[in-house]
C-alpha cells in the first residue's frame, strides 16, 4: 500500500540573494499562494513538474526579480511536515551579487528590502515565524 502522505507533498525552492553584507527579502501580494502568510520571505516558489531545483532557483531570480546570468549554489535541503499536513522538501539556494541595484521586482512582489545580515528584521515581521531568518543564518555558516 502506498503512503497517502506522499501524494500531498510540496517541492519548494528559495534563494538567499546576498550583496555587500546584505540579504534581499521580499513581500508577496498574493498571501493565499504563500500559505496565507504575511511578512518577509526569501524569494521562493514551488517547483514545476520535472523542473530541476537549480533551474527553479534561476527561474525565481529571473521571474520575480529580473536577475539573470548569475551562479547559484545549493546551501542545504530541509524536510518537514507543514501546517497543512503536507510533506515539504525545501531546497535552499544562495547567490552573491556585486550590486544591490540590479533587481527589477515583478508585480507579484509588493515590497523588497535589503537587510544587513547582522540586523535582520524581527521574527514577528517574517513569514512562518521567522523561518527566513533561520535559513539565512544557516546559509551564512556554509
pLDDT of 77 above 70: yes
User: Are 25 and 42 within 8 A, CB to CB?
Assistant: yes
pTM, full prediction: 0.89
> Where exactly are the structural domains of the chain?
4-141
pLDDT, tens only, 5-22: 456 889 999 999 999 999
The pLDDT value given to residue 7: 61
Q: Looking at per-residue confidence, does 98 or 74 come out higher?
A: 74
What architecture is domain 4-141? Alpha-Beta Complex (3.90)
Please state, rounded to an integer, the average pLDDT across all residues of the chain. 89
pLDDT of 132 above 70: yes
Amino acid at each position: 500500500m502506498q503512503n497517502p502522505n506522499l501524494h500531498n507533498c510540496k517541492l519548494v525552492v528559495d534563494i538567499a540573494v546576498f550583496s555587500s553584507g546584505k540579504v534581499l527579502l521580499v513581500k508577496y501580494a498574493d498571501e493565499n499562494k504563500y500559505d496565507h502568510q504575511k511578512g518577509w520571505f526569501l524569494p521562493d516558489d514551488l517547483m514545476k513538474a520535472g523542473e530541476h531545483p537549480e533551474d527553479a532557483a534561476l527561474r525565481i531570480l529571473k521571474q520575480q526579480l529580473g536577475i539573470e546570468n548569475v551562479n547559484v549554489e545549493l546551501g542545504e535541503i530541509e524536510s518537514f511536515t507543514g501546517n497543512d499536513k503536507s510533506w515539504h522538501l525545501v531546497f535552499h539556494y544562495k547567490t552573491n551579487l556585486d550590486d544591490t541595484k540590479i533587481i527589477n521586482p515583478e508585480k507579484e512582489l509588493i515590497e523588497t528590502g535589503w537587510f544587513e545580515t547582522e540586523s535582520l528584521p524581527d521574527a514577528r515581521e517574517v513569514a512562518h515565524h521567522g523561518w527566513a531568518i533561520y535559513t539565512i543564518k544557516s546559509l551564512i555558516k556554509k
